[in-house]
Amino acid sequence: MSALDLATLRRLAAAGNEEAANRLAELAAERGDVTELRELVDAGNELAGEELATLAGERGDVDELRRLLGEGNELAADKLAQFAARREDVDELSRLADEGNEVAATLLTRLIRGTD
């Protein structure tokens, strides 16, 4: 995609075009452009939040996942729960489960039972 096309998408997204914002999120995720994804998240784009959580999960960026969780991103909570389970971090899983994350509750139960 050319710079002109990106500029057009950005202009349309800034004007409230959700399809343009979603396309920008997809392209930013493909490029691994965390900055653009954060900007789209800050503007309220849900797809950008999902893409950023996925990217942060792939990169093991727990700080980014926690930031997204603080903004209510459920996928970030799921990714954090998965990291906590791998580390056998009962406290983190308990905290996430107490906040209503079902993935954390399931993983905590499995960890306590000693099953995978």
Q: Convert the pLDDT of each residue in 7-27 to its tens digit.
A: 999 999 999 999 999 999 999
For residue 79, the model assigns a pLDDT of 97
With contact defined as beta carbons under 8 Å apart, do 96 and 84 qualify? yes
Both 37 and 87 in a single domain?
Answer: no
Together in a domain, 67 and 51: no
CA–CA separation, 14 vs 62, rounded Å? 29
Average pLDDT on 39-66 reads 95
How many domains are contained in the chain? 2
Do both 102 and 49 map to the same domain? no
Clarify whether residues 51 and 73 are in a common domain. no
The residue to which tokens 């000693």 are assigned: 114
pLDDT score recorded for residue 107: 97
pLDDT reading at 105 higher than 90: yes
Q: Are residues 83 and 48 in the same domain?
A: no
Q: What is the pLDDT of residue 115?
A: 76
Q: In this structure, are 28 and 66 located in the same domain?
A: no
Specify the DSSP element, H or E, that contains 13.
helix 3-14
Query: Which pairs from 19-22 meet CB under 8 Å and 24+ separation?
Result: 21/45, 21/47, 21/48, 22/47
The percentage of the chain sitting over the pLDDT mark of 70, rounded to a whole number, equals: 96
> Same structural domain for residues 55 and 1?
yes
Q: What residues make up the domain containing 31? A: 1-59
For residue 65, give both structure tokens: 């996942």
SS3 sequence, 41-95? HHCCCHHHHHHHHHHHHHHCCHHHHHHHHHCCCHHHHHHHHHHHHHCCCHHHHHH
